[in-house]
């Protein structure tokens, strides 16, 4: 069963990955959220160099979302061979801070 919560963005590790702190749980727990349906340049590590505009993408998302409250929707399910898998979406937060705008698809 899906559960919704309001969280605060505490870390932006790249242009597509966020860490959201669940403010409703005691003690507060952090949830890693990956933005879907977008392609972001990858930050380098080890032997790999940064892709072009990787830091710019990270800084753009960081300036828009860091320390902002965002409504999230979380869904946990059993997925063999893993014991427990959880998916989390930012339900309305991305559009309310100006990261995206809703669009209508042709039917």
What is the 8-class DSSP label of residue 85?
E
What is the enclosing helix (H) or strand (E) of 93?
A: helix 93-96
Written as six digits, the tokens of 80 are: 């063999």
What is the separation of C-alpha 49 from the centre of its chain, rounded to a whole number of angstroms? 23
pLDDT recorded at residue 34:
78
Residues of the chain with pLDDT under 70: 1-2, 75-107
Contact of 8 with 68, CB cutoff 8 Å: yes
What pTM did the predictor assign?
Answer: 0.69
Which pLDDT score, from 0 to 100, does residue 1 have? 43
């Amino acid at each position: 069963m899906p559960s919704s919560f309001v969280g605060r963005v505490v870390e932006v590790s790249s242009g597509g990955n966020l860490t959201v702190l669940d403010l409703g749980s005691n003690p507060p727990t952090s949830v890693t959220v990956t933005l879907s349906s977008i392609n972001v340049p990858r930050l380098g590590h080890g032997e790999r160099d940064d892709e072009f505009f990787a830091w710019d993408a990270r800084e753009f998302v960081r300036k828009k979302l860091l320390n902002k409250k965002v409504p999230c929707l979380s869904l946990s399910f059993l997925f063999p061979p893993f014991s427990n898998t959880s998916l989390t979406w930012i339900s309305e937060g991305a559009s309310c801070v100006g990261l995206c705008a809703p669009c209508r698809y042709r039917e």
